[in-house]
Structure formats: structure tokens, C-alpha cells
Chains A and B, each alone.
Chain A
């Protein structure tokens, strides 16, 4: 009951918002905002990464050409790569691919898109599924067929192409017939080559005849069981070293990727955490200052309340509640700010937006703590005000 009265009191003094109150609150808002933003974005990234590995499984590796190879010109041989499963016991299947940026012209529109040349196994390893039409098969290796990402298909439809399936489009110098549209995939941070939703996929043999970039620099492989990276690395180097002189490889596993993401997140967390803590300290000191000034300005009120029977502890809790209410008001704005920032982040990264309830709880907790912390000393000063001098001094 006392609590509600005190909160009202605090809101009253907040609504008569003085400049220094607003300034102090900006610190709290930025502090809580960055902490919440940081945690929310972290959750979004984690969620996204896990989602992709949930789809693909974590027994996937990416093998890429080591760009420090003694011979920089060599690339993976197609047939040798496809035969890998027969020669290296741990490998279940492989999916080599070629990526190339390609000019796309359609009507008056010109765009630059990612084109991918893949084998049939690619769809299985990447767990890509078809939305319309069918996928590319190894029987299409001499045909100028392609399948397109769902975003690309949607944008074609929007710009007037009624039947995307069966239509012909010019990518680079060649004309391809669309035979399928794949379902949307979750992108970012995983093993998949980027840009699938906006891109075009054709068969790798077709690609090696028509792409500007024709060498295979990377392939995906599914392992029979998870193996240590050095072992894989040794076996694969041995295998490819014998096939292509001077070709060395690098293996990255799902585990490494998750770990790397974790490292990046930690850096990000550290940065925002530092910004957040500094702002919170600045905000906390600001609130403390606001409260100290308020105690001085309201000495008379304190004297009156004491004369009417307020205990020192009543006065103390009144000022602490006021400080907490102040910080909570800032904290709630900060939470909204942080969530908005993470929403914008997710929107532009095309990632699933999630609200982290743990973050909200933390935001409320931290702002309450800052309120108690920065209100404690002023409140003690208020409780110690001598009622007689306070009542006498006009």
C-alpha cells in the first residue's frame, strides 16, 4: 500500500521531468538497451545456427581448397571428388559445387545474382526440398535447366511472370529453362553456400561449361560418423595430393563453425556488454545525482513527513522506491529499444526474429538493481535529515 503511494509519488516527479532526470535516464536507456539488444541478437543468431544444423545434421563437413596451396591454380577434380566415398572410409557422400556471380537480364531489369552448379547429391546433403516442379538430377548434366530460390521465384512472379516453371531466362550468356523452385532455406552462419533463396542452381557439368568461374573450390561431405579434423585432413590431403599435384585442403566441421560463431558472439557480447555497463554506470551516477538533488529540494517535505509520524525507514524506502521507479521507467524504454534493435537486425539479416524473455527479465532485474544501488545513498541521506532544521529552513 505504501509501495503504491510511493510509486505514484515517483511517477509524479518523473512526469514533471526535469532536464537532468531525462539525461540520467538516457544513460539507463542506452545501457539496458545495449544489454537487451546484445542478448536478443545472440539468441537470434544461436537460434538460426541451430536451426540450420537441425535441418542438415552436424555430421557435415565443408572441404575447401587451401588458398595457401603450393599450386594456386589447381582445383578439385569432379570425378575424383565424386569417387571420394569409395576411397576414404569415413565419407558417406559428397557434393561438390561451383559458385559464380552472374548477370541476369529480364526485360528492362538487370541484376547480379549468385549461380550455383551442383550435383544431385547436393540436395540430399543440404536437405533442400522442392516447392514446385522438380530438382536438378544428374541426368540433366548436359541440359540448360535450372532451379531457382523461393525469393527469386516470388520476385519474378511479382514482376509479371505468371508461370515461372517452364519459362526461359538468360543468365550470363546462356538461356536456362526453369524446372523447379526450392523451398525457402534458413541462411546465415551455417554450412550452406549463401544466397540460395535469391539464387539459381544448375547442374555442375552445365556450370563447368558455361560459368565464368569453372573450378571446384569447395565441396560438402556427409560423414558416416563424426571424426577428428586432423584425421580427416590427413586422409583427404593424401587422397587429393595424389590426384592433383600441389593441392592441399582445409576441412571445416559443423562443430568448428558453431564454435567460431560462439567466438564471434563473445566478441560482440563483450563489446556491447562494455557499452552497456559504461552507460549503466553513467546512468546510475546520473540517477544518484538526481536523487541527491531531490533530497535537498525536498528537505521540508521530509521534515513534515517525519513530524507526521514517518519513520526513518519510511523515508528511506520512499526515496529508494522513487529511484527504482525512475530506473525501471528507463529500463522499460531500454528493453523496447533493445528488442527493436534486434528486430531490425533480424529483419535485415533475414533471420527469424525471436523475443528473448530471459533478456527482458534480466533488463527488469538490472534496472531495479541500478535503482536500488543509486538510490541507496541519497535515501540514507534523506532518512538522516533532522526534522527540526528541515522544518525551520524555508
Chain B
């Protein structure tokens, strides 16, 4: 489903060049529930942004569903991002002036769907995250866990190939975080939705089907250690 081959990413900070990703090669199959752990600053978010087509690697090849990504046309990249990727962020990243249902509908707006179609589908996904009662609430009227549920509905609404979650439980208390992860696990098992989850929390990582560690810009697969 996702294949990275020898991905390098270098940032220029002043005159110096900092290599954050030093040749990452990995494959994520359909139906995986994949955790990536690693110390702060190891490049986890950079890797995820690369997978999510927000960032462009300095070198290397990247395939989504066997299509190699070329980074020269914003329209192509944005359309792929819109259709193939669903993002869940640590800080939810809902638009503050929009209601829950409007937030969920944004990916569909960029697909050019009709207003009532957007509304219908957004509501359906709000139901699935059990947030339909709060459809007309603004983000600041919701708790952190509730906001993250809305954000998950937004990631799911376009039926993407993969959900990329960057520390989705990082801003939540242990119990609420666990609820979110349980929900991910259900979606993964029942509907075969593919997840890549970045986390600091070993407890969360341990519950995923597969885990890899990013350290000093290199990835080490630790699948065997977690598989029980």
C-alpha cells in the first residue's frame, strides 16, 4: 500500500544541513495497524509528513498503491492527499469557527461534492464516532476527546487508503487516549482500515499489530518483539 525506498530528508538550518531521515525504506500493507515510536526530534513527524504528501523528500522514491509519487504538480499531490490520506493530529486541528459537522465535511468540499451530499456523509461519519449529537457544536464547546473524535470522523469521511495519526493521544488523559486507540483497533479489525500511529506511549504502541522505532534518522522494525 505504502512503500518508501531509501528516503532522505535534509533541512537547511542557516549554513548547516541537518539530515533528519537517513535512508528510510519500509512497506506498509493494507490492513496494518502500525505504530512508530522514537525519541523526540528523531524525525517521526517528518516521516509522517512525507508519507502524507505534505513534505517532499530530498531523495528516494515513494509509492502509494504502486503509483510512484512525482512532486512537480501541486494539483496532483493535493488530489492524492485528499483521496488517499486521512490525517489525525495531536492538537486535533479543527477549524475553530466551524461546527463539528462542517469540519468533518472539509475533505469532501475539496472533492467538489454537493452541499447536501457533504452534509449527509459528514453526519454518517459523526454517528460512527458517536458525535452526531454534537454536530452543531464548535470545537471550543467540546472536550479534547470529543474534538479528537470529530477529527477522526474528518479523517475517515473521504474513505482514504490510510489514516496517518501523529500522536493522536498525546494531548489526552490515559483513559480517553485508550478509548481513541480502542476505536482505531475496532476500525482496523472490522473494516480493515490501515493505520500508521506515531506515539510516545509504549502502552499504545504495544497494542498495535506492528511497531517500528525511529532513531537517529534510521528505522528499525521491532515487529517480532511486540507480536504475541
Contact = CB atoms under 8 A, between A and B. Distances in A.
Interface of A: 1-2, 4-5, 12, 300-301, 303-314, 387-388, 391, 394
A18 to B, nearest CB: 14
B95 A301 contact: yes
Contact of A312 (B54, B78, B94): B78
B81 A309 contact: yes
A307 B87 CA distance: 7
A5 B109 contact: yes
B154 A308 contact: yes
B114 to A, nearest CB: 6
B54 A1 contact: no
Contacts of A307: 52, 54, 81, 87, 93
Contacts of B97: 12
A1, A304, A314, A387 pick with most chain B CB within 10 angstroms: A304
A387 B53 CA distance: 10
13 contacts: A1-B112, A2-B109, A5-B115, A301-B95, A304-B94, A307-B52, A307-B54, A307-B81, A308-B154, A309-B78, A309-B83, A387-B54, A388-B49
Contacts, number: 64
B89 interface: yes
Nearest to A387: B54
A235 to B, nearest CB: 78
Given A304-B95, A388-B54, A391-B93, A309 B114 contact: no
A313 B112 contact: no
Interface of B: 49, 52, 54-55, 74-75, 78-79, 81-83, 87, 89, 91, 93-95, 97, 106-107, 109-112, 114-115, 154, 158
Nearest to B109: A5
A311 B91 contact: no
Contacts of A304: 93-95, 106
A79 B75 CA distance: 90
Given A1-B114, A308-B106, A311-B74, 5 more contacts: A304-B94, A306-B78, A309-B111, A311-B79, A391-B89
The 3 closest A-B pairs by CB, nearest first: A309-B82, A311-B78, A309-B110
A100 to B, nearest CB: 72
B91 A308 contact: no
Nearest to B151: A304
A308 B87 contact: yes
Given A12-B97, A388-B55, A394-B91, A310 B112 contact: no
A300 B78 contact: no
A309 B74 CA distance: 10
A311 B97 CA distance: 21
Nearest to A13: B97
A313 B75 contact: yes
Q: Which of B49, B55, B74, B109 has the most CB of A within 10 A?
A: B109
A314 B110 contact: yes
Nearest to B46: A388
